Structures are given as structure tokens and as C-alpha cells.
């Protein structure tokens, strides 16, 4: 296998996982990160068996599992009836199947510390805005302050949904969410479940236990509320008291969480978009994670898909010394899994976040009852776990989960 000089643009989980896998395969890696001090952005996320398998390959799964919270069930009730319309149980996939909810820091920090231990070069304070190529087609990265880094044999774009290296028409979704991280309220919610409440498809509130941050003994929860980004300014102007009154009326048990929110700045607005690159590579440029395929968080696949991309790229470069052939192989390894889950996300998101009055009726009276059938329970659990068209076999990942 040839050793290549590779630039990884983006120091989030997608970029760090890619850098680790490629560095350990013998490539010369430099990570470029826009922040002076790399740090995670956002609140909680779900790691599925697919993403955990990549983290096991990196030797980091046990550490991350020790920080996170094992999730065995996802369920939601429709209001005002409180009837359960979402009930997904991982045990349908086997007695030891589970998801793992983590604070983003519990994923980022082990990856970042591993990169530092491995001696991977990390250039901070580099806001990458584009690339240029030499006469041989080798790319260099261009920073916003005019600095040029390179040339490299290959550039990996791991800069996320708004990457300047992969410009495309992105489908901005109508609904986003307000997120915050709070101390876990003992005894009020199921410690092993993502719980949600819905009113039609325009209102959704959720509670997700996410375990601990590195170095902290405090168990935390991610609390979220669906909102259209265009309504965010009006939400702030109306004040917290009016919003809290609405949430308490919908879900009285959230009162202790709401009491801990004393400033609107505690709630972070997340915007979502949906796009999929038909070809996630160009000449000596490869695109991983949300830069290549972004979707709403309804299926909880974002970080897992990025980790799988990193593994696929490492295998493709291992199996071919020709970079162009390796990038074609990378795309082939990920094509059907990515397309399937992007389709599922586009299909199901409007049932849970939209202005439709018809789709929530179909959800409540047709889709929800059908998922209680034995075969359907297994299929829905497999969809949530990311193992429909299971990519772990072709990516040479173990399917065994050996942690608590």
C-alpha cells in the first residue's frame, strides 16, 4: 500500500476518525481546524451499533460507552391523548442490542486525545475557504487569511453541511430545533429511553439522557424543542415564561428541566438541511460526513454515517494504490447504505416535523399501529440502529457489541 500525504479539512468527529484510521494505515496526515482550540459543537447525539463498530476498530468504544448512556427504547406520545405512537425497542435485534446517547464532548474528546497521542499534525486557527491545484492536479488548501497549505496527494473534506469545498444546492428543512444540556433529573424519566411528545407534526419536545462529559461526574440530559428557524427571533422576543407555560401544559414532568433554563442563550438553535452528493469525490478530493450527505436528526444517523465513511475511505485506500480508483471504491462501499438512509430520512421527517395536518393522522392511525406487528418491530428497530443494508460486513467491522 502506498503512503499518501493527506489533508483532512475539519477537526470534528468525522475528520478526527478519518485522520486516525488513515494515520494508522501509514499515511501522512495533517488536520486543519478553524478553531484555535478544537472543541465539540452541540448537545447530545445517538451512536448506533454501526458507529460503535467503527469506534471499536479505533479502540475507543469502551471509553465512550463508559461516558454515555445506554438507550434501549425510543418512544413518543401524541397529545392531548398521550397515546404511544412511537415505540422502538433495540431488543428486537437481540438481547444485547442498544444505542448509546452521548454528549458530543464524550465522542469528540476521546477522538481528539487519540489523535494527539498518535502524533497527528493538527493545524488550528485555519478557516479553510477553498482549494487550488498545481499543474499535476495535486490540491492545496486555501485559508481565509490567504495562507496556502500543500500540495497534498489527497484532501478529505470533513467540514460539515456548509463546507465551501463541496458547494451544492442544499435543501434547508423548514423545522430545526432548540437544544440545551441540563443535569439529569433523577426519577422523572426513563434513564434508558429517548422520550418525545408530539402535537400534530408542528410541535415536538424531547428528553434524551446522554451520560457524562469527560472528567465530569454529573449525568446530563439533552432537552429539545422543535421550531422553525424563521420563528426564532419571535420566540426570543416573547420571553421564556410564555414558552415555558406552553411546554409545561404539554408535558408537566418537564417542569424541573424548564426551571433550570433561566436565559434564552441556554437554548441553541439548530438548523437542518437535506442533501446527498451523487458523487462524493472529485480529482484528489473526497467528501465524508455531512459534507457529503446531511439529513434531519429524526433517524439519529449523522455521526454514525460519518464514522462509516471514514472506515470505507481507509479500506478503499488500503486496497488500491491508485487514488482515483480508491475514491471510486469508497463511493461504491457507501453508496447504497447512504442512499437508503437518506431516502428514509426524507420520507419520515415530514411525519414528525412539518405543517401537514394529514401526515400526522396517517402517522398516528396507520403507520404507528403497523410498527407493532412482529416483523415490523424488527424492521423499525433495524432502521433506527442503522443495520438495514448492514454496512459492517463489507467494511470488515465486527457486529458483536461487547460492552455493558
Domains in the chain: boundaries: 5-69+104-170+274-385, 172-270
The answer to whether residues 370 and 28 touch, using CB atoms and an 8 Å cutoff, is no
The DSSP secondary structure of 310-367, one letter per residue, reads: HHHHHHHHHH-SSHHHHHHHHHHHHHHHHHHHHHHHHHHHHHHSSS-SSHHHHIIIII
Q: Are strands 73-78 and 193-199 parallel, antiparallel or unpaired?
A: parallel
Tell me if 22 sits within 8 A of 29, measured CB to CB. yes
Q: What is the pLDDT of residues 6-21, one digit of tens each?
A: 999 999 999 999 999 9
Strands 148-149 and 139-143: antiparallel
Given a contact cutoff of 8 angstroms between Cβ atoms, the answer to whether 391 and 308 are in contact is yes
Residue 73: its pLDDT value, please? 96
CA gap 400, 147 in Å, rounded: 46
User: What pLDDT score was predicted for residue 167?
Assistant: 66
Q: What is the CA radius of gyration of the chain?
A: 21
381 with 73: CB under 8 angstroms? no
Q: Which residues pair with 287 in a beta bridge?
A: 157
What's the confidence (pLDDT) of residue 353?
A: 94
Distance from C-alpha of 368 to C-alpha of 78, rounded to nearest angstrom: 11
365-389 as b/e, with b when 16 or more CB fall inside 10 Å? eebbeebeeeeebeebbbbbbbbbe
- Pick the closest to residue 107 from 71, 65, 158, 49 (CA basis): 65
CA 175 to CA 226: how far, in whole Å?
7
DSSP symbol at 170: -
Beta-carbon contacts of residue 80 (< 8 Å; ≥ 6 apart):
199
**What is the overall mean pLDDT for the chain?**
94
pLDDT tens, position by position, 33-91? 998 887 777 779 999 999 999 999 999 999 999 999 999 999 999 999 889 999 999 99
Cα distances from 307 to residues 54, 127, 154, 245, 322, in angstroms, run 6, 23, 19, 40, 23
Q: Which residue has the cell 438548523?
A: 271
Fold of 5-69+104-170+274-385: FAD/NAD(P)-binding domain (3.50.50)
Q: Which residues, given as ranges, of the chain have pLDDT below 50?
A: 403-404
Q: For residue 43, what pLDDT is reported? A: 78
Beta-bridged to residue 123, according to DSSP, are 32
Q: How are beta strands 73-78 and 83-89 bridged, if at all?
A: antiparallel
In the prediction, which pLDDT does 94 show? 87
- Which is it for the CA torsion 311, 312, 317, 319, positive or negative? positive
Q: How far apart are CA 285 and CA 138, in angstroms?
A: 9
- Give φ, ψ of 74 to 5 degrees: -120, 125
- CA 196 to centroid of chain Cα atoms: 19
Q: Are 321 and 69 in contact (CB under 8 A)?
A: no
Amino acid at each position: 500500500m502506498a503512503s499518501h500525504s493527506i489533508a483532512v479539512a475539519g477537526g470534528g468527529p468525522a475528520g478526527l476518525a478519518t485522520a486516525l484510521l488513515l494515520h494508522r494505515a501509514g499515511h501522512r496526515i495533517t488536520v486543519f481546524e478553524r478553531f484555535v482550540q478544537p472543541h465539540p459543537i452541540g448537545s447530545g447525539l445517538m451512536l448506533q451499533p454501526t458507529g460503535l463498530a467503527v469506534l471499536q476498530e479505533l479502540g475507543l468504544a469502551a471509553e465512550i460507552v463508559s461516558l454515555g448512556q445506554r438507550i434501549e427504547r425510543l418512544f413518543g406520545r401524541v397529545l392531548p391523548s398521550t397515546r404511544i405512537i412511537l415505540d422502538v425497542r433495540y431488543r428486537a435485534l437481540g438481547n444485547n442490542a442498544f444505542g448509546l446517547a452521548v454528549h458530543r464532548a464524550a465522542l469528540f474528546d476521546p477522538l481528539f486525545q487519540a489523535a494527539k497521542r498518535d502524533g497527528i499534525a493538527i493545524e488550528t486557527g485555519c478557516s479553510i475557504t477553498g482549494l487550488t491545484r498545481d499543474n499535476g492536479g495535486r490540491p492545496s488548501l486555501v485559508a481565509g487569511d490567504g495562507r496556502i497549505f500543500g500540495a497534498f496527494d489527497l484532501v478529505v473534506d470533513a467540514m460539515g453541511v456548509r463546507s465551501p469545498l463541496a458547494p451544492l444546492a442544499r435543501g434547508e428543512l423548514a423545522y430545526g430545533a432548540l437544544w440545551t444540556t441540563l443535569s439529569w433529573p433523577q426519577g422523572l424519566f426513563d434513564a434508558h429511553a429517548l422520550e418525545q411528545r408530539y402535537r400534530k407534526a408542528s410541535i415536538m419536545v424531547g428528553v434524551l439522557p446522554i451520560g457524562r462529559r469527560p472528567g465530569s461526574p454529573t449525568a446530563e440530559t439533552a432537552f429539545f424543542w422543535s421550531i422553525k428557524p424563521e420563528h426564532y427571533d419571535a420566540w426570543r422576543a416573547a420571553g421564556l415564561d410564555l414558552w415555558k407555560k406552553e411546554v409545561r401544559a404539554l408535558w408537566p414532568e418537564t417542569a424541573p428541566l424548564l426551571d433550570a433554563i433561566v436565559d434564552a442563550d441556554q437554548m441553541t438553535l439548530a438548523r437542518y438541511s437535506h442533501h446527498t452528493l451523487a458523487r462524493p469525490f472529485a480529482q484528489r478530493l473526497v467528501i465524508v460526513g455531512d459534507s457529503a450527505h446531511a439529513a434531519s436528526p429524526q433517524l439519529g444517523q449523522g455521526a454514525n454515517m460519518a464514522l462509516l465513511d471514514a472506515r470505507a475511505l481507509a479500506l478503499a485506500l488500503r486496497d488500491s494504490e491508485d487514488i482515483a480508483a480508491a475514491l471510486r471504491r469508497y463511493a461504491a462501499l457507501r453508496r447504497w447504505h447512504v442512499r437508503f438512509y437518506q431516502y428514509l430520512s426524507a420520507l419520515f421527517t415530514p411525519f414528525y416535523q412539518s405543517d401537514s395536518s394529514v401526515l400526522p393522522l396517517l402517522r398516528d392511525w396507520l403507520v404507528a399501529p403497523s410498527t407493532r406487528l412482529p416483523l415490523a418491530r424488527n424492521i423499525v428497530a433495524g432502521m433506527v440502529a442503522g443495520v438495514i443494508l448492514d454496512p459492517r460486513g463489507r467494511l470488515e467491522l465486527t457486529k458483536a457489541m461487547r460492552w455493558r
